[in-house]
Amino acid sequence: MTHRNPAAISWMVERQHEYVLRAVEERNVKLIRLWFTDVLGQLKSVAISPIELENALEEGLHFDGSAIDGFSRVQESDVLAKPDPGTFELLPWADGGSTGRMFCNIFNHDGKPFEGDPRHVLRRNLGKLRDAGFEMMAAPEMEFFYFADGDPQSPPKPLDSGGYFDLTTSDVASDLRRQTISVLEQMGIPVEYSFHEDSPSQHEIDLRYTGASEMADQIMTFRLVVRELALERGHYASFMPKPLAGMQGSGMHLHLSLFEGDNNTFHDDDTPYHLSKTGQQFTAGLLYHAREITAITNQLVNSYKRLVVGYEAPVWVGWARNNRSALVRVPVTRPDKHSSTRIEFRSPDPACNPYLAFSVIAAAGLKGIQEGYELPEEASDNLFELDQRSAKKLGIAPLPTSLAEALDEMERSELVQEALGEHIFEWFLRNKRDEWRSYKAHVSQWELERYLPRW
Amino acid sequence: MAESFVVFPNPPPSDLARALDLDGHRWTAVSSSTELANAEPEEGFTGAIIVADEQADAAWALCRDLRKRDVPIEPLLLLVSGNQLEELASRDDQYDDFIITPFHPRELDARLKHLLWRAGRGVRPELIEYGPIALNVETYQASLEGRPLDLTYMEYELLRFLTAQPGKVFTRETLLNRVWGYEYYGGARTVDVHVRRLRSKLGEEHANLIQTIRSVGYKLGQSRWG
């Protein structure tokens, strides 16, 4: 019944452009922000006026990429940003709702996708999953802190713990969170749950699952909304993985499943915990390649201060049904809800680049499925109290304990190299080695306090 | 009078179904004259769109039948392939206009509008309304209780499709084919995801306008008739 009609396809693109142009006119939009993401996961934005919009939609927007992290190349730095009209949304909080935004795809001058564009890298990796018949669904638990300000010169002051900062009450942060959720929902980012976390001023907002590519866009939007709304009230929201020593850090646990059409391929009535063979192999892939992909899912020096024993963060490479220090958790789901069978990958933190994190996760999981990896034994509860030596005896590997170690693992990984592509792989390693060098040369307060009096 | 075209064959080619949907034309597909008689609304069909490029004989038979009726169904727009042009010569009385397949959706819309205009009939309504929802298919504007509702393109198309036929239950498969179309490669979960996004934009008070029909699909509101 389906005969491909080229005119109908170009008509769809025209309709989408027309839709955006109409919306801009009817809603009196004054400014359109064109968004893209650099290799480190920072949101970049070029603003254009409605007059420039039609041309930007049809031709794209040329700009010099050399100023953007990971975009510069030796020979050429001019790239073309093409807005994705399907992502046009108004920003409800900005300028009384008269600002719109679209995500862009970045192209080289020869019309080929630019390899330094994380959104393209994710599309490529999800394309491989799709070729194998799978669509990856993701739902993140976003954790973050509200602080009184963003001044890096002094330790951050939590907003809602009386002892720390008595000018405000806990209601301020809760109000802020409620307002944030309302803006997210207006922007079509449905929220599943939200609550106050264990640490003072730490909050969690769980997003409802959607396709991984759209979810990566949503995470970028989420981080901006949370931060901008906090700033509007004179506060500061942070996704730094471990901003307060001795307190729980901020993670971005990811709930993952693979769908084939209507069917959740992670579900099987006849397997233990209803995790299908495919689900087991995907998990095995994540575990097997966990050490290689950690530099991407946990990309800051500070990320590794969260991945320590005693704070419900994963430390060892293992899976379990109900152990919160396991790297992968297989949540118990209702037997009649096949669509909710999933795994929870617990190492990523909210400071990662979601496009690249989803890319390496998809690649590791797919490898597990294609090579038929066996899922190791479930980690026993007390395992996580064991020390390094006992773990080694049991054949349980630790996650990398520092950015340097994670980079070493990544550099040796063919899987990560292929998933990210040569351009980003090399640039990321170079940039992050620099970050580590600079950190290593730094003498911290801890060292001064500990060593100066004695030596 | 609500506009409603009869379309042959059943199901029609997906690009035709989609083009009609997206331009806001209502239609019913039939595979024979008998089926047509059963499906015909009390006030009659607005016109007919007959695709003759695959089941030519059945299509010609239907064209004849439509013209022979006491109250003929007019205007009749024919879709034929380029190598069928000779067949048209002897049948000038059986259609009002024709388009060569594969067709351009804009041409389809333009010819339909022109045919209706010539027949002295109004074009389709520009507003689709249900309860607090109003959609202007010309300007793509959506509103909820009179306030603008800001939607992405696909959210708008999904809401328009559901609102145009209140109370009717659509499977995910149907919604994927009719709203997203064949160039879309995602799975049926896409529909769930967009319904959730729509509900969150409709807000708590109106989220339940779109109902989930367990193990079938979705519907918006209630049919006017029940």
* pLDDT tens, position by position, A427-454: 999 999 999 999 999 999 999 999 999 9
CB atoms under 10 Å from CB of A454, counted, come to 5
How far apart are alpha carbons A4 and A11 in whole angstroms? 13
The pLDDT value recorded for residue A163 is 40
Q: Name the token pair of A109.
A: 């001058």
Sign of CA dihedral A309, A311, A317, A318: positive
H-type alpha helices, A160-211: 170-186
CB atoms under 10 Å from CB of B24, counted, come to 21
Which residues in A lie closer than 8 A to residue B188 (C-beta atoms)?
Answer: 261-262
pLDDT at position B187 over 80: no
pLDDT at position A95 over 90: no
pLDDT at position A385 over 60: yes
pLDDT at position A281 over 80: yes
Q: Name the token pair of A123.
A: 């599309």
Flag whether residue B106 sits within 8 Å of chain A, measured between CB atoms: yes
Q: Which own/partner pairs from A149-154 qualify as long-range (CB within 8 Å, at least 24 positions apart)?
A: A149/A234, A149/A235, A149/A236, A150/A236, A150/A238
Flag whether residue B138 sits within 8 Å of chain A, measured between CB atoms: no
Work out the minimum CA distance from B138 to partner chain A, whole angstroms: 10
**Which of the pair, A345 or A387, is modelled with greater confidence?**
A345
Flag whether residue B141 sits within 8 Å of chain A, measured between CB atoms: yes
How far apart are alpha carbons A27 and A254 in whole angstroms? 36
How far apart are alpha carbons A104 and A60 in whole angstroms? 9
pLDDT at position B165 over 90: no
Measured CA distances, A131 to A123, A124, A280 (Å)? 12, 11, 20
**Which of the pair, B50 or B215, is modelled with greater confidence?**
B50
Average pLDDT of span A329-354: 91
Work out the minimum CA distance from A133 to partner chain B, whole angstroms: 10
How far apart are alpha carbons B20 and B51 in whole angstroms? 13
Which residues in A lie closer than 8 A to residue B140 (C-beta atoms)?
Answer: 18-19, 22-23, 26
pLDDT at position A167 over 60: no
Flag whether residue B223 sits within 8 Å of chain A, measured between CB atoms: no
Share of residues in chain B with pLDDT > 70 (%): 94
How far apart are alpha carbons B193 and A317 in whole angstroms? 32
- Helix (H, G, I), strand (E, B), or coil: what is residue A64? strand
Which of the four pLDDT bands, split at 50, 70 and 90, describes residue B91?
Answer: confident
Average pLDDT of span A41-46: 95
**Which of the pair, B208 or A170, is modelled with greater confidence?**
B208
Q: Name the token pair of A90.
A: 């108004």
Range in A118-122, A171-175, A361-365, B5-9 the model is least confident about: A171-175
Which residues in B lie closer than 8 A to residue A259 (C-beta atoms)?
Answer: 187, 189
Which of the four pLDDT bands, split at 50, 70 and 90, describes residue B43?
Answer: confident
- Is A1 in Cβ contact with B14 (below 8 Å)? yes
How far apart are alpha carbons B35 and B65 in whole angstroms? 12
Range in A225-229, A284-288, B18-22 the model is least confident about: B18-22
pLDDT at position A193 over 80: yes
Flag whether residue A192 sits within 8 Å of chain B, measured between CB atoms: no
Flag whether residue B10 sits within 8 Å of chain A, measured between CB atoms: no
How far apart are alpha carbons B61 and B49 in whole angstroms? 14
CB atoms under 10 Å from CB of B26, counted, come to 18
Which residues in B lie closer than 8 A to residue A189 (C-beta atoms)?
Answer: 197, 200
**Which of the pair, B178 or B162, is modelled with greater confidence?**
B162
Which residues in B lie closer than 8 A to residue A97 (C-beta atoms)?
Answer: 150
Q: Is A322 exposed, middle or buried (0-12, 13-18, 19+ CB in 10 A)?
A: exposed
How far apart are alpha carbons A170 and A296 in whole angstroms? 34
